């Protein structure tokens, strides 16, 4: 595994940790908003916003984790995978994988 791939993998781990922690924070905020809200309309709107934000942050982990595993285990990463990493995973990791000369 080249140095650029190791650095891209490290940035991938940091991305997954930050997205996961932020998603969990919003998830627990949504749960506390459910507990605190009564029949208040503004609280219901805030609670819905928190739920949507938490879901939008946690769903991308469904493709980020398999991409990170493929990045670690694959002997040869294709240019298509590098571009998908650039677009859907992490900008810096994608650029590093595109610049990797051991393809």
Residues 9-58 pLDDT 10s: 999 999 999 999 998 898 888 888 777 766 667 777 888 888 898 898 88
Least confident of 25-34, 39-48, 68-77, 91-100: 39-48
Residue 37 makes CB contacts below 8 A (sequence gap 6+) with: 43, 44, 46, 47
Would you state the structure tokens that stand for residue 34, as one six-digit string? 């459910």
Stretch 65-79: mean pLDDT: 90
CA atoms 30, 31, 35, 36: torsion sign: negative
Q: pTM of this prediction?
A: 0.80
């Amino acid at each position: 595994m080249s140095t650029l791939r190791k650095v891209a993998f490290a940035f991938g781990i940091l991305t997954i940790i930050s997205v996961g922690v932020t998603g969990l924070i919003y998830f627990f905020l949504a749960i506390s908003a459910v507990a605190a809200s009564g029949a208040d309309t503004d609280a219901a709107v805030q609670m819905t916003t928190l739920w949507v934000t938490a879901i939008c942050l946690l769903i991308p982990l469904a493709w980020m984790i398999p991409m990170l595993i493929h990045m670690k285990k694959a002997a040869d990463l294709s240019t298509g995978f590098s571009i998908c990493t650039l677009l859907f995973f992490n900008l810096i990791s994608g650029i590093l994988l595109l610049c990797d000369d051991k393809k």
